[in-house]
Amino acid sequence: MSCDHNCSGCKSACDKNKSLLIQTNPKNHIKHIIGVVSGKGGVGKSMVTSLLAVELMKQGKKVGILDSDITGPSIPKAFGLGDGVEGDEELMYAPESKNGIKIMSVNLLIKDPTAPVLWRGPILGNAIKQFYKDVLWGELDYLLIDMPPGTGDVALTVFQSIPVDGVIIVSTPQDLVKMIVGKAVSMCNQMKIKIVGLVENMSYMKCPCCGEELYPFGPSKLHECAFSYGLKALTKLPINPDLAKLVDNGKVEEADSSALAPVIKVIEEM
């Protein structure tokens, strides 16, 4: 009755101040959780997640990927996984890639990877929670969460339920994407999630004849976009047909991931 609806600094134990964060199982010891987000689909968010995991692995880190893009999962394909998930009465065991990156995705739980996942919001949210607390991740330096595009139910579930340390926002060099980045930034600010910085994907391509950098989508807007929203400009990634072939063949771990080394440096400085 005496509530003034000002939750800042309030010590009341009402529902508004009740934490929705869940605990992972006692067998997991995860040091850092980083989300990779975008305001829209098609910008290469899953590609950035995969390459970031590969670069972390090359630097000697123990890495896992939680594929929270339930309706459009692509991480298992990139790493050549598709044999299902083992488990017991208590836990599911996260399958490992060739080089030991642990991965959990809905595509590892269904027989036909092309079958649509026709689930409503609450079921999607519960699946994400189970991927975090009911999967044996073990000892991890980093758990990367490949977020679904947009700012819908699943993104809210991740940010409210899982203790995310920070997020990387992925963009491409188009004016429309700059506007969409603003939506992702606003979501993170409202949810009080720290933003590591901005990665611009498909920023340029190298001419196969002379090596000159070409800009099929126009000049890079990485620094302009980052400045507009007060973000760190982390790195630019090129269009690389060879990388696409590696992903199609489930061999993303063989890709050159060195362009994301500056991103890891910023994460570690956090």
Q: Give pLDDT, residue 209.
A: 87
- What are the backbone dihedrals phi and psi of residue 171, each rounded to the nearest 5 degrees, phi first? -135, 175
Q: How far apart are CA 105 and CA 124, in angstroms?
A: 12
Q: Give pLDDT, residue 168.
A: 97
Q: Per-residue pLDDT tens for 137-192?
A: 999 999 999 998 877 778 888 999 999 999 999 999 987 877 889 989 999 999 89
- What are the backbone dihedrals phi and psi of residue 266, each rounded to the nearest 5 degrees, phi first? -65, -40
60, 33, 28, 71: which is closest to 49 by C-alpha?
Answer: 33
Q: How far apart are CA 212 and CA 224, in angstroms?
A: 23
Q: Per-residue pLDDT tens for 12-44?
A: 655 555 678 999 999 999 999 999 998 778 889
Q: How far apart are CA 41 and CA 170, in angstroms?
A: 10
What is the band of 112 on the pLDDT scale with cuts at 50, 70, 90?
A: confident
Q: Is 252 exposed, middle or buried (0-12, 13-18, 19+ CB in 10 A)?
A: buried
Q: Which residue has the higher pLDDT, 11 or 231?
A: 231
Q: Which tokens go with 124? A: 């999607």
44, 56, 78: which is closest to 238 by C-alpha?
Answer: 44
Q: How far apart are CA 132 and CA 124, in angstroms?
A: 13
Q: Reduced to 3 DSSP states, what percent helix, strand and coil does the chain have, rounded to the nearest 5?
A: 35, 20, 45
Angle between helices 153-161 and 121-133 (to 10 degrees): 30
Q: Are 90 and 170 in contact (CB under 8 A)?
A: no
On the question of pLDDT at 123 being above 90, the answer is no
Q: Are 148 and 121 in contact (CB under 8 A)?
A: no
Q: Show the CA angle centred on residue 173, arms to residues 168 and 175, nearest 5°.
A: 105
